[in-house]
Structure 1
Amino acid sequence: MLDLVVRNARLRGAEERTDIAVDGGIIRKIGPALEEQGREEIDAEGNLTTPPLCDPHLHLDAVLSVGDPRFNASGTLLEGIQIWGERKPRLTRKELVDNAVEAVLWEFAQGVQFIRTHADVTDPSLLTLEALLEVKDRVKDLVEVQIVAFPQDGVFTFPEGEALMRRALDMGADVVGGIPHNELTREDGVRDVELAFELARKHDALIDIHCDETGDDQSRFVEVMAARALSTGMGERVTASHATAMHNYHNDYAFKLLGIAERSKMNFITNPFDNSVLQNRTDGYPRRRGHTRVDEMHARGINVCIGHDSIMDPWYPLGKGSMLQAANLLLHTAHMSGYEQIFALFDMITANSAKTLQVEGRYGIEAGKPANFAVWDAEDEFDAIRRESDCLYAVRRGVAALKTRPAVRSLDLGGFRRDVDLRVPVRGVEPRGGEVPGQRRR
């Protein structure tokens, strides 16, 4: 008797339903109509079953803080940074941990099991890093968390910046961050990138830099990152987050830059929620879209991922931790509504992000891999993104840790009774409950 068997799952790209047999936290066997029995059995009912979603870019130290100490009246990136600076002196470890754990639970309930979070390490106390190290340990049974040592105010804008970065890596941060466009000069921005590569080599760490998160078409630090990634051979371990200035580059320069990025094998993360509201605020009209060149990168085979970035904080007042919602938004803002592109968007919150996080070896629905996966209230990826579908079951280490009851919408008017289902009805099947009031049959 095995621990768990999931019946009638629809795996990505598969037409036939299949069963997934799990024991000891490991996927033991996959195939149609397995004979194995489980102590617990789940009927996926033909619904889409995928590896867990990933959120490769989140700021857990700021989540759920919107309005504290004040709301962002202008909605701009700079005012968000100002508000965060006003809040930092009043931060407590308990508040940071409580808010972050709650946000992790929100994301887990929506199919996420891998998160990369940034921790602001420009405060000499390194309180945010200490808090997120505690969060990482507290949620480890649900979600695998990577922590980026992120110099929110820049590394070289104040005397202690470099020392704090080094201390953060010694304390246990997993990833080296940076923010070159926020340094005082172009030269310091290049030093910011160079320091990240130096620290990554020393600590055998990954790199994830907030790079060119601006509408300034002269902010060109992605080229510095790409050149260094190419020359060091570290490309697959290197990530440029945001890269929104690329949207505004001259096309000839962008064409050259994307060629270097492609050769370097580096990764990119776009953040649809924040990028769509924070960038190009001074444009007037016509107003440019505030995200990087996702469609062009995807067409070149560059690894592009989607991050949530903010959840109810000084930079983005909304959000609920849904990566499907993030993919849905990017579909619109990045002109990614082509049929095959919609399926590619799902890659950007699953396999592409797993590659960026370097967790591919323990990621995926395959025999012998950890039993971490999600069953969706959806027929396929297209349906999941369209409806921002519920995660029906989240299986973590072989345990069905989350079970969701989707909403039931029951209509009852003038004798007409019917459940309204937002799924596309099967053609030729009569809806339950009869005709709509006032509707005539042909």
Structure 2
Amino acid sequence: MKKKFFNANIYRNDTASEIMVDNGRIIQIETNLPKCVEEIDLQDKLVLPPYVDPHLHLDYVYTLSELGQEGAGSGTLFEAIELWPKFKETLTVESVRRLAMKGIKDEVSQGVQHIRTHIDVTDPNFTALKAMLEIKEDLKETVDIQIVAFPQQGMYMYKGGRDLVEEALKMGADVVGGIPHYEPAREFGDKSVHDIVNLALKYDKMIDVHCDETDDTHSRFVELLNALVLMEDYGTRTTASHTCSFGSADNSYAFRMMDLFQKSKMNFISCPTENAYLQGRQDTYPKRRGLTRVKEFKESGINVAFAQDSINDPWYPMGNGNMMNILDNGIHLAQTMSPEEIKTSFDLITYNGARCLNIQESYGLEVGKSANFIVLNESSVYESIRKRVDVLASVRNGDFLFRHKEMAYDIPLNL
């Protein structure tokens, strides 16, 4: 049955205000469309494609509070990694599933419909991976989940880590992951990057590497990753996550590399809140922000997206799956709030993330695509971001996943 959503302010579309849906797909986006049996008034609110969280650790969510333990006292990435095995010992398929479902509910209830999750496979029992493969299938009508085979303790730092990544790919993981800056020496970091690309080619998988998540400007694994995928013409299927050290690199090196990034078309993900918390820990002042060069990437046409990364785990005690909060922090830290930049800021948590996940052919508010979108509690992009508004409704395949009453902002004050 056809239905029409009308009176909408559609993101990046100044000419249409109505969306007609049939059998879960968008069949028209126009104004003054024909009457339908079912018509939904969107009350002049801003309509976006669903939020995308392209980097989340669903096997870690809520482990900090759940186990009643403290996180890294130093607040550093490397201490948190060292603490993780103690947490991992207590995990079961059931516990991972229960907490991951809680994290997914956090995100979906706030407008996310696409998640890429990094699952630790440096575990011969594949406890977390088994749980996540089940969840992915169980929730496919509600949220799309991509699973990264991620060796949290390293392909070589953890004995047999490389083979565990390969086995995880055979079991059904969608993406090859890695963490070259955590390997015991540069030689092994380089070797892991070669392994990542070779495994992706062998199994026809995408790539998403925790790459140079450090303030150390000598950490330049992104250069090797980019070179390999450039030569294999695999850049559009590759993502470098974090690349914090690139935010500290000198301009001569950075701009030479950005020219190569443009050639490879590799994607980047920045995790603003988490890396602002973790990085710069050894700095006094000036103190680094922890972000990669988001502003320069955008200006150079290099795809970059924002992500949550963690929710209440040993790395990051905060987080709640609210992508508006991630966007707000990210554009502040990256200093991307000119009038022109604000107009397309939502790309950082929608379209750009979709490109990282390689779902851009099916994602977005266009005729022929699935009728998946969210409705924000404001009418304009600027006011939505300024007020950090909530998601009023999330629509998937033309049906509501949820729908809230409008939140009132014009509250009379007795002054």
TM-score (norm 1): 0.90
CA contact (8 A) 2:151 2:178 kept: yes
Deviates more, 1:28-37 or 1:173-182: 28-37
Q: Counterpart in 2 of 1:412?
A: none
Q: Match of 1:133, as an amino acid? A: L
Q: Counterpart in 1 of 2:257?
A: 257
TM-score (norm 2): 0.96
CA contact (8 A) 1:390 1:406 kept: no
1:42 aligns with one of 40, 43, 59? 40
Q: Counterpart in 2 of 1:64?
A: 62
Q: Counterpart in 2 of 1:21?
A: 20
Counting aligned pairs with the same residue, the percent is 43
What is the alpha-carbon distance in structure 2 between the residues aligned to residue 29 and residue 250 of structure 1?
Answer: 49
What is the alpha-carbon distance in structure 2 between the residues aligned to residue 408 and residue 49 of structure 1?
Answer: 18
CA contact (8 A) 2:377 2:407 kept: no
Q: Counterpart in 2 of 1:210?
A: 210
Equivalent position SS for 1:223: helix
Q: Counterpart in 2 of 1:116?
A: 116
CA contact (8 A) 2:63 2:87 kept: no
1:53 aligns with one of 51, 54, 67? 51
Give deviations 1:385-422, integer Å, cap 9, x for gaps.
Answer: 2222111111111111210224446xxxxxxxxx42xx
Which gives a bigger RCO, structure 1 or 2 (Cα 8 Å, sep 6+)? 2
Is there any run of 5+ residues in structure 2 with no aligned partner, and where?
none
Q: Counterpart in 1 of 2:7?
A: 8
Deviates more, 1:330-339 or 1:264-273: 330-339
Is there any run of 5+ residues in structure 1 with no aligned partner, and where?
410-418, 421-432, 438-442
Q: Counterpart in 1 of 2:195?
A: 195
Instruction: Provide the alpha-carbon RMSD of the alignment.
Output: 1.5
Equivalent position SS for 1:96: helix
Where do 4+ consecutive residues of structure 1 move more than 6 Å? none
Equivalent position SS for 1:46: strand
Q: Counterpart in 2 of 1:314?
A: 314
What is the alpha-carbon distance in structure 2 between the residues aligned to residue 17 and residue 405 of structure 1?
Answer: 24
What is the alpha-carbon distance in structure 1 between the residues aligned to residue 258 and residue 123 of structure 2?
Answer: 35
Q: Counterpart in 2 of 1:127?
A: 127
What is the alpha-carbon distance in structure 2 between the residues aligned to residue 161 and residue 15 of structure 1?
Answer: 50
Query: Deviation of residue 339 (structure 1)?
Result: 1.6
Q: Indicate whether 1:96 and 2:93 are aligned.
A: no
Equivalent position SS for 1:119: strand
Query: Deviation of residue 69 (structure 1)?
Result: 4.6
What is the alpha-carbon distance in structure 1 between the residues aligned to residue 88 and residue 52 of structure 2?
Answer: 28
Deviates more, 1:358-367 or 1:271-280: 358-367
Work out the number of aligned pairs and report it: 413
Query: Deviation of residue 108 (structure 1)?
Result: 1.2
Query: Deviation of residue 244 (structure 1)?
Result: 0.1
CA contact (8 A) 2:122 2:158 kept: no
CA contact (8 A) 2:289 2:333 kept: yes
CA contact (8 A) 1:21 1:36 kept: no
What is the alpha-carbon distance in structure 1 between the residues aligned to residue 44 and residue 37 of structure 2?
Answer: 19
Query: Deviation of residue 139 (structure 1)?
Result: 1.5
Q: Match of 1:26, as an amino acid? A: R
